[in-house]
Amino acid sequence: MCGVSLTPAAPVLHRAARAEDAVRGMIERRMRRRGWRATIVPYTGYGGPGWVRVMGRVLLSRPGEGETPPPGPENGQMSPKKAKIVRGWRSFATVAVNDAEVEIEAGDQRQVLRTDRGGFVDARVEVDLPPGWQTVRISTRGAEPVDAPVRIVDPAVRFGIVSDIDDTVMVTALPRPLLAAWNTFVLDEHARAAVPGMAVLYERLSTAHPGAPVLYLSTGAWNVAPTLTRFLSRHLYPAGPLLLTDWGPQKDRWFRSGQEHKRATLLRLATEFPSIKWLLIGDDGQHDPEIYADFARTHPDNVAAVAIRRLSPAQAVLAGALPIHDNTPRSRDTGAQRWLWAPDGAGLSRLMRESGLL
């Protein structure tokens, strides 16, 4: 009798992903022949009692060049660094190294894994690290080891902040069809403007809730993580992990779904930190209210409140939303949560004081 193999078949990649992998492999081989070497780009991670999430990427760069690692945290803030003007397209002029063996050292634990087809590593390491800002080391063959900052959340913390980026902490004011291309490929990072009053609001929240983690959830690509980190540092936003997405074709589709990324990340945070109630901050330009409402309905015990920055009529039109002419700060209770609306950080700050969040 013939035996039947029970080994599951490997998933078939989407044709766009297969084409991208073929082109990327050809470019990688050519760059290596020219002397390009592996470089590790560390991203800020987070964790809790007994575990830590470590994120990074392996890229090829010219000898002596490479992405500057994100600045390390100092007293809860990202240390400012002077940086030359960086156009967004340079972040995408990179060559990812897939299937590279990467070693992660966290405390007394070591874990070896391989990068995915985009050169990314996203690993959960079982290790006990003390609460606060810590570092883990990431290394791979042929590259200088780097230290990645990680925020370990104290188990006694019961409050945290999840914030959108575009039009919530950073003004974009561009039509949505052009927004990603302009912010990603053209705009100088020093030309980006902060939303008035939001950095002050976040700092007040961090002071009112010591130890509260601040996570920045966006549909932006990981390629711009160093740029966004410098922007947040320069405008004095509290330091925190960026939760971004992979750019380009995915395993099962042409392009990633930003809404799916946000929904999946919120569900993951609810699982990783079941005792934390999150203050969800976004804007009404696209889908933040809908995504936050769905999460608040299915996970009411994980939501402290929802704060929505109302765009001006002109900004709303550019964002593809219906303009709201009444920008008066407002709040209302919806079951177990309170919803707050205001056009800027000052308005949201006043509502949060009235609601007992500050």
Instruction: Name the pLDDT band for 258 (thresholds 50, 70, 90).
Output: confident
- 1 part of a folded domain: no
Question: Measured between alpha carbons, how far is 26 from 139 in angstroms, rounded to an integer?
Answer: 24
Average pLDDT over residues 174-193: 58
315 and 240, same domain (yes or no): yes
209 and 301, same domain (yes or no): yes
Domain boundary among 136, 152, 168: 152
CATH classification of the domain holding 122: 2.60.40
176 and 292, same domain (yes or no): yes
CATH classification of the domain holding 197: 3.40.50.1000
Average pLDDT over residues 308-329: 62
Q: Whole-model pTM? A: 0.82
- 306 part of a folded domain: yes
261 and 189, same domain (yes or no): yes
DSSP character at residue 236: T
Instruction: Name the pLDDT band for 8 (thresholds 50, 70, 90).
Output: very low
Domain boundary among 124, 152, 180: 152
- 3 part of a folded domain: no
66 and 184, same domain (yes or no): no
287 and 187, same domain (yes or no): yes
Look at residue 177 in the predicted model and tell me its pLDDT: 52
Residue 48 corresponds to which tokens in the numbers above? 């809790």
Cβ–Cβ < 8 Å for 286, 176: yes
Look at residue 118 in the predicted model and tell me its pLDDT: 84
145 and 184, same domain (yes or no): no
What's the order of all strands across the beta sheet hosting 242-245?
242-245, 214-221, 159-163, 277-283, 303-309, 337-342, 330-334
Look at residue 210 in the predicted model and tell me its pLDDT: 96
Give the count of domains, the chain: 2
Highest mean pLDDT, choosing among 19-23, 200-204, 245-249, 334-338:
200-204
148 and 165, same domain (yes or no): no
Q: Which residues contact 239 (CB under 8 A, 6 or more apart)?
A: 44, 73, 76, 77, 78, 133, 149, 151, 214, 232, 233
191 and 129, same domain (yes or no): no
- 199 part of a folded domain: yes
Instruction: Name the pLDDT band for 76 (thresholds 50, 70, 90).
Output: very low
Question: Measured between alpha carbons, how far is 277 from 273 in angstroms, rounded to an integer?
Answer: 9
Q: Which residues span the domain enclosing 142? A: 15-27+34-152
176 and 285, same domain (yes or no): yes
- 56 part of a folded domain: yes
45 and 176, same domain (yes or no): no
- 9 part of a folded domain: no
Q: Which residues contact 219 (CB under 8 A, 6 or more apart)?
A: 166, 244, 245, 256, 258, 259, 261, 262
Average pLDDT over residues 139-154: 95
300 phi and psi angles, rounded to 5 deg: -60, -30
Instruction: Name the pLDDT band for 2 (thresholds 50, 70, 90).
Output: very low
